[in-house]
Amino acid sequence: MRIKTIELSKTYEKKSRALENLSIDVNMNGIFSIIGRNGAGKTTFVRILSTELLPTSGSGYINDKDVIDQAEEVRQEIAVVPQEARPLPWLTPLQTVSSYLMWRGYSYREAKEKGKEALRELGLEDKEGEKSRKLSGGQKRKLMVATVISSEAPIVFLDEPTTGLDYLSRKELWQLLSRMKKDRLIILTTHYLEEAEILGDQIMILDHGKLVDMGNIEDLRAKVKLPYVLKVFSEDFKLEDNELQVHPVSERETFVYGSASKIYGLVPYLVTKKMKFTVEEASLSNIFEQYLGNGEEVEENEKEDS
């Protein structure tokens, strides 16, 4: 599965610039996570590639089909849960899923069967016959996901599918997505960075409509200055060093971001002082913070792979 954009730009109503010259080429099966702050352009990107919105300039391709001129062909291959989509309150979950499948061309019978299966996969089978207005916020979200996963579309766009899900439901959804990703490309936007890290075979970071970086977690980690985290659990730990970033988390806990050599250089000192500590690779949230948080710079490291 392949998505490709060339100099893709979107300016809404002559003012707000939502995407700026975005050029990417992703050719894979699996999960493509998109992260970025509110207003970064994630939804705009999803809506253009899913043929809901026209770009201002540039072009986009889904499996080499032009999203502008070959929209009808593209639409055979994609399914989308928009960020703000909600189930119609007067439909039951089963009616919600099956009518979507009928709009995709399945017969009434097939749609019902597939719908039941999808609801079971998301643990909504006991709500099958109730009106959707009686579902909780998270259950409604799950229902929307069930709706598109039941279609056999090879490319699936999920715009913040897990917002509002409890931790366990989120993990269930992760398992489901991991199972379905083998022969599909799932484009997933999320604000849960741990989720983007765990699921994302490729991760794209957007900021102000521009591509900040893209790659798997190792690629991204290789490009930041401070790819290691030292977590020290002691009240007595004090440190000042220009090459390290020190973040007191609580009285008894301090995080230190730094390069491998600097971080491991601290270990003997901690051992002699008998302080408890762990050393980890920076997580995606650490990386995200280094890229976009309060002006922390990124190494001018343009090489593609680590």
Ligand X SMILES: Nc1ncnc2c1ncn2[C@@H]1O[C@H](COP(=O)(O)OP(=O)(O)OP(=O)(O)O)[C@@H](O)[C@H]1O
- Binding site residues, ligand X, CB under 6 A: 12-13, 16, 18, 36, 38-44, 83
Q: Quick count: other Cβ atoms within 10 Å of Cβ 148?
A: 23
Please provide the DSSP assignment of 162-226 as one string. Answer: TTT--HHHHHHHHHHHHHHTTTSEEEEE-S-HHHHHHH-SEEEEEETTEEEEEE-HHHHHHHSS-
Residue 297 is a binding residue for other proteins (CB under 8 A): no
Residue 83 is a binding residue for Mg ion (CB under 5 A): yes
Angle between helix 108-121 and 137-149 (nearest 10): 130
User: Mask 41-70, x = binds Mg ion (CB under 5 A)?
Assistant: -xx---------------------------
> Closer CB to other proteins, residue 18 or residue 203?
18
Contacts 24+ apart (CB under 8 A), 16-20: 17/208, 17/209, 18/44, 18/209, 19/44, 19/45, 19/48, 19/55, 19/209, 20/208, 20/209, 20/210
Query: Shortest approach of other proteins to residue 142 CB, angstroms?
Result: 16
The closest alpha carbon to 146, from 169, 15, 134, belongs to 169
Residue 33 is a binding residue for Mg ion (CB under 5 A): no
Q: Which of 2, 17, 37, 75 binds other proteins (CB under 8 A)?
A: 75
Residue nearest Mg ion, CB atom distance: 43
Query: Shortest approach of other proteins to residue 196 CB, angstroms?
Result: 23
> Closer CB to other proteins, residue 21 or residue 56?
56
Mark the segment that binds other proteins (CB under 8 A) among 16-24, 71-79, 120-128, 210-218.
71-79
Give CA 141 to chain center in angstroms: 16
# of chain residues touching other proteins (CB under 8 A): 38
Q: Which residues, 6 or more positions from 276, have their beta carbon under 8 angstroms from its beta carbon?
A: 232, 233, 234
- The binder of 91, among ligand X, other proteins, Mg ion, none, by C-beta within 5 to 8 A per type, is other proteins
185-189/30-36 β-pairing: parallel
Residue 63 is a binding residue for other proteins (CB under 8 A): no
Query: Shortest approach of ligand X to residue 69 CB, angstroms?
Result: 23
Q: Which of 2, 21, 52, 154 binds other proteins (CB under 8 A)?
A: 52
**What does the binding site for other proteins look like in residue numbers (CB under 8 A)?**
47, 50-54, 71-72, 75-76, 78-88, 90-91, 95, 99-100, 102-108, 111, 131, 147-148, 157
